[in-house]
Amino acid sequence: MDNEIRYMIVEDQDIVSLGLRISLEEFSALKLVGIAKDGEQAVEMALALKPDLIIMDLGLPRLDGIEATRKICQMQPHVKVLIMSSREKARDIFACFAAGASGYCRKEASANDVYAAMQALMKGQLTIEAEIAGRILACLRDVQTYPSMGVQGGSPILSEMELQIISLTADGLNNNTIAAKLGMSPESLTEHKQQLRDNLATLGSLLSEPNDKT
């Protein structure tokens, strides 16, 4: 099938992985190739099965989701990782992007939202759920946190445009609406989001637990 997305689920709770698998069965463009129950198994299966995309939990046994993501992205840079977790602390969110993830959504997300996120990731777009974007924005605007992690070499890591993109995402606006509000084409927005993903990864490498006030 053209544009088929071969994906893996990494989740240690059977009832959660089963529910996710069933909810995504309605989308014909998706093909589930495997389910891993811990981080070590996820790395092994990713190497063997070579999926296009991995839906990754964070609280995994043996090897947590952040380290599993880091290993997979180092060995298979083409694989897209969508974090799906109930964790909403800024430290965890930034760490996921630093590890190589391209998207982050909560476990409460609907099947349609997860599918839309998967499609966006396969197009090279950054995907952040509105609530998660709000957490990122709150962290960046914290006067105690931003000076220590948001500036490198005297210049802010995130541009004003990138902050606006995060803010509008947190408001729940879709890509077309965000692009219109910022006076750019959807294609230009995609380019900005790709750079934003890289910059969030940089922030993730700078963010330390003691500075996390959120």
Residue 58's Cβ-side half-sphere holds a number of Cα atoms within 13 Å equal to 22
Which residue bears the tokens 């408001």? 171
Structure tokens at 191: 């380019």
Closest CA to 79 of 68, 89, 88, 87: 68
CATH number of the 5-211 domain: 3.40.50.2300
Higher-pLDDT residue of 99 and 10 is 10
Higher-pLDDT residue of 18 and 90 is 18
Average pLDDT of the segment spanning 185-189: 86
Closest CA to 73 of 54, 92, 94: 54
CA 130 to chain centre: 12
Which residue bears the tokens 């989701």? 65
pTM of the model: 0.81
Higher-pLDDT residue of 184 and 133 is 184
73-94 per-position pLDDT tens digit: 999 999 999 999 887 777 788 8
**Confidence band, pLDDT 50/70/90 cuts, at residue 142:** low
